[in-house]
Amino acid sequence: MNRNVHDIIKQMTLEEKASLCSGLNMWQTKAVERLGIPSIVLTDGPHGLRKQADPADMSSKTVPSTCFPSGAGLASSWDRQLIEEVGQALGEECQAEGVHIILGPAVNIKRSPLCGRNFEYFSEDPYLSSEMGTHHVLGVQGQGVGTSVKHFAANNQETLRNSINAVVDERTLNEIYLRSFEGPIIDAKAWTVMCAYNLVNGDFCSENPYLLTEILKERWNHEGFVMTDWGAINERVKGLKAGLELEMPYAGPERDQMIVDAIRSGELEESVLDDAVERLLKVIFHTIDNRKEGFIYDKEAHHELARRAAGECMVLLKNDNALLPLNTKQSVAVIGAFAATPRYQGGGSSHITPTRLDAALDAISALAERGVAYAPGYSLMEDVIDEAMIAEAESIAAQQDVAIIFAGLPDAFESEGLDRTHLNMPASQCALIERVAAVQPNTVVVLSNGSPIAMPWLNKVKAVLEGYLGGQATGSAAADVLYGFVNPSGKLAETFPSSLEQTPSYLNFPGGKNEVFYGEGIFVGYRYYEAKKEKPLFPFGYGLSYTTFAYERIHIDKQSMKDTDTVTATVTVRNTGSRAGKEIVQLYVKPSDSSVVRPIKELKGFAKVSLEAGEATTVSFTLNKRSFAYFNTDIHDWFAETGDYEIVVGPSSADTPLSASIHVRSTEIPFSKVTRNTKFHELLAIPATTQFAKDAMKESMASLEHMGAVFAEGMGDEGIAQLLKAMKEWKKYDGIRSLTGMLGSGMTDAQLNQIIGQLNETLGLKNASTK
C-alpha cells in the first residue's frame, strides 16, 4: 500500500482533501478508496470502550466492555504503572473491537468540585493529572491504538459548555490548565487531541490559534491531528486556519464545501489544507498499520484488573479504633441500595455497558461467615426520607457487630452536561447514616461518588472508605478492602472542602451568561487552601492505611544547582506497622523568597512504594528546572528564579515531615529586553549584569535614604527605619528608572538610555528598544 503521504496528497482532488476534514458519520472518518485511504473508527473513552456494534448505525447497541474506575478514582491510586496497565487493557479491547482511536484521557483540571464531569477528570493538580494522562496514553498507544487527549483546554465546567468564554490569565493558563496536557502530548506523544467546546480568552477552542498552533504545534511539536469535541465547530475555515484538522461528527456536505470555496476564492491557502491532510493521513495510516485483526482479549483477566485497580483507588478517609479491616467472623448488617445496585460509573459520553458487574452485597455475603442482614435504607428512584426503610435498617444494624452503609451520589446528582449546585448527598442517605450510627457504634460508610461531598455525619461514624466510581468490580474491590485482603493505599487527588463557600472558585463559578473569569488564578485546589490557611475537610494527598509509615530521612545530592542541572532527593520511608502496605510518597517544592506571587508549595514528584511490615526503602526523585519554575509572562516561558527553595516530603499535602534546602541559580534572562522599568534584582541575578546592578544600587542608595527620610516625615525614627528597610529590599525595589529623577543621583534620561542599550547589548538582546 502506498504510504507516501506527500505523493498521495498530490494525487488528491481539492474535494477529496476537504472531505477528509470531517467525519463520515458519528464515529468514523471518510475513506478515499481510489487512493487507498481507509476510514477509521473513533469512539469513547476514557475508562472503558463505548463502541456501537455498527459504528455507522446510531441505533445499534453498545458492545460490552470492561468498565474500569473513572478518572477521579484512577488518579487516587497515584500509580503510574497501574494506569498504564489499564490503558493497555483499553488498547486491547479497541483492537478486538476494531477501534482505531479511543477518545481520552480527559485531563481537565478540577477547578471547582461542582463541575459535573469531575468524575472523569484526574485531579486539581496539573502535575499529578499530567502524569496520570501520560501513562494512560502510553498504555493505550503501546497497543497500537490512538488516544485523543481531551478537552483542550480550560473546559472546567458543564454550564454553558458550548458557549462560555473562559477568561484565564496567561500564567494561570500555562501553569495550571495547559500543564495538565503537557505530559500526554509531549512525553507520551498522543496521536490526537480533542479541542473543547468552550472559548478561551475570546476564541473558540476549535479556532483558537494560541492553543492549536502556538502551544500545540509550535511549542509542543505535536505531530498528530486535532479533532473537535462532538459538534464543537464554530466557523469551519477559521478553525482550519487556526490548526483544527478534523470536525466530528459529520454534519452534512456544507462544511467541506466551505473549505473548497475558501481555497477557490483565495481566502485560504491550499497549503493549509495540505498540511492538515498530511497530519490526518499520517495518523490514519499509523492506526491501520498497527491493527491486529482477529485479536481477542481476556475478559476474565480484564475484570480482575478492574478489581485490582478499584482496590488501589479506594481512599480510607477515617478509621477510628482500627474498626477496619473487618473480621469474617463478625456479624454484619449491609445497608444501602448501592450495596445491591452499585453506582460504578458516571453519566454521559463515557457511559458503557460492562462485561460484568460485582455487587458489594454479594461479595460481602461470600466472606461473612455468619451471613449478612441487608436493608436498602433509601430509594434510588427519589430522594425522600422513608421512615419504614430507615427503621428496617436501624433494626438490623442494632443486632449485628458492624453496620456497613453504602451511600454516595446517585446518577441524577452528577453527570456530563450538568454542573452540581451544592456538595450535598441525598437527604435520605444522610438521615439513614445518622440514624444507623446512633444505634450501631461500629458503623462504616462506603462512598460511591465522582466528586467531593459534604459529610455532615462524619463525626458520628467510625470509618469512611471513599470508593469513587470504581468501575464494574467496585463491589468486590470494596469487600477486598473492608476485610483487609487489600490494604487501602489510595490518596485524594483533590481537596475535599469543608463547605462550598470555602472553595477557590466560589465567587467565579460557573460565571455569567457569556464568560467565566478564573479569578482565583493559579490558586486552584490545595494551592488556594494553603495560601488562605483554610482547613478543608480532607486535604489533597490524604489517605489512610491499615499500617503506618515513618518518613525517616531525606538526602539531596547537592545544596546548590544551576537551572540547567538536576538535583536528586533520596528519601527513606519505613513501614512501621504490622502488615504489608503501600505508601504514596509525595514531594513538594516551596519557593522561599520569590519576586512573583507563588503558591506555598507545589507537587513536583510522587512515588508509590510497597513495603512489608518493618521494611524500609529509599525513593529517589530527580528535580529539574521545571520543578522550581513558574510561567514568566515577559518571556512567555518557564523561568526558575535564582533563590532558595525547600524540598519537602511526606504522606500528604498537609503533612510533610522531611525537608531539605537547595539554592537554584538561573542561567536565563527573565525578560525579553532591558527597559527603564527592569528591576534591579533581575539584573543582579544575571551574572553578566550583576556588577552593574551592584554599583548602580550603591549609587542610588544614598539618595534613596535621603528621600526616604523626607517622605517619612511624621513617622518617627522607627517608622523611618522601617520605610528604608522596605525600600531597600531588593526584590521590591523599583526599576532602574529610579537612577534618574527624584530618587536618582543626577543621571539623565539620555545617560540611562545609553546604559540600557549597553545592557541589552551585553545580554544579546540586540533589537530591544528602551521603551
CA distance 126 to 108: 9
Half-sphere exposure of 255 (CA within 13 A, CB side): 23
Q: Between residues 230 and 638, which has the closer beta carbon with respect to ligand BGC?
A: 230
Residue nearer to ligand BGC on the CB measure, 45 or 450: 45
Q: CB of residue 599 vs ligand BGC: minimum separation in angstroms?
A: 29
- List 44, 79, 229, 480, catalytic entry: 229
Q: Could you tell me the smallest distance in angstroms from the CB atom of residue 230 to ligand BGC?
A: 4
- Report whether the peptide linkage leading into residue 249 is cis, meaning its omega lies within 30 degrees of zero: yes
Shortest distance, CB of residue 259 to ligand BGC, whole angstroms?
23
Minimum distance, C-beta of residue 132 to ligand BGC, in the bound complex (Å)? 17
Counting Cα atoms < 13 Å in the Cβ hemisphere of 598 gives: 21
Burial of 746: CB neighbours in 10 Å, binned 0-12, 13-18, 19+: exposed
Quote the CA–CA distance of 34 and 423 in Å, as a whole number. Answer: 56
DSSP string covering 3-47, please?
--HHHHHHHS-HHHHHHTTBBSSSSBBPPBGGGTB---BEEE-SS
Distances in whole angstroms, Cα of residue 124 to Cα of each of 414, 637, 648: 18, 22, 20
Q: Which three cell numbers stand for residue 183?
A: 505530559
Pick the closer one to ligand BGC by CB: 11 or 162.
162
Our answer to whether residue 229 is catalytic in this structure is yes
Which of 608, 622, 494, 603 is closest to 549 using CA atoms?
Answer: 608
Using CB under 6 A, list all residues that contact ligand BGC. 44-45, 103, 150, 229-230, 349
Ramachandran class of 468: left when φ > 0, alpha when ψ lies in -120 to 50, beta otherwise: left
Q: Is 725 helix (H, G, I), strand (E, B) or coil?
A: helix
Closer residue to ligand BGC in complex, CB, 106/464: 106
Q: How many CA atoms lie within 13 A of 145 on its CB side?
A: 33
Q: How far is the CB of 106 from ligand BGC (least distance, A)?
A: 6
Question: For residue 66, what are the CA distances in angstroms to 77, 211, 408?
Answer: 18, 34, 23
User: How deeply is 743 buried, as exposed, middle or buried, from its count of CB atoms within 10 A (0-12, 13-18, 19+)?
Assistant: middle
* Range list of H helices, 247-291: 254-264, 270-289
Q: Which residue is nearest to ligand BGC (CB)?
A: 349
> Least distance from C-beta 204 to ligand BGC, angstroms?
14
CA atoms within 13 A on the CB side of 738: 22
User: Which of 411, 480, 354, 455 is CA-nearest to residue 69?
Assistant: 354
Nearer to ligand BGC, 184 or 467 (CB): 184
Beta carbon nearer to ligand BGC, 150 or 343:
150
Shortest separation between residue 131's beta carbon and ligand BGC, angstroms:
21
Q: How far is the CB of 153 from ligand BGC (least distance, A)?
A: 13
Cα angle: 401, vertex 402, 403; to 5 degrees? 140
CA distance 215 to 192: 14
**Least separation, in Å, of the C-beta of 117 and ligand BGC?**
8
Nearest 5°: the CA angle 127, 224, 54 is: 100
User: Looking up cell 475558501, which residue turns up?
Assistant: 262
H/E run at residue 334: strand 332-335
Closer residue to ligand BGC (CB): 32 or 193? 193
Nearer to ligand BGC, 230 or 730 (CB): 230
SS3 517: strand
Question: Between 349 and 547, whose beta carbon lies closer to ligand BGC?
Answer: 349
Q: What is the 3-state secondary structure (H, E, C) of 437-466?
A: HHHCCCEEEEEECCCCCCCCCHHHCCEEEE
> What is the distance between the alpha carbons of residues 313 and 149, in angstroms, rounded to a whole number?
22
Compute the least distance from the CB of residue 13 to ligand BGC, in Å.
Answer: 30
Sorted by sequence, the CB contacts under 8 Å of residue 595 that are 6+ apart come out as 641, 679, 681, 682, 731
Q: Which is nearer to ligand BGC, 36 or 231 (CB)?
A: 231
Within a 10 A sphere around the Cβ of 635, how many other Cβ atoms?
Answer: 13
Residue with cell 493558563: 173
Helix, strand, coil shares, percent, the chain, to 5: 35, 20, 45
Among residues 47 and 679, whose Cβ is nearest to ligand BGC?
47
Neighbour count for residue 267 (Cβ, 10 Å): 12
Residues labelled as active-site residues: 229
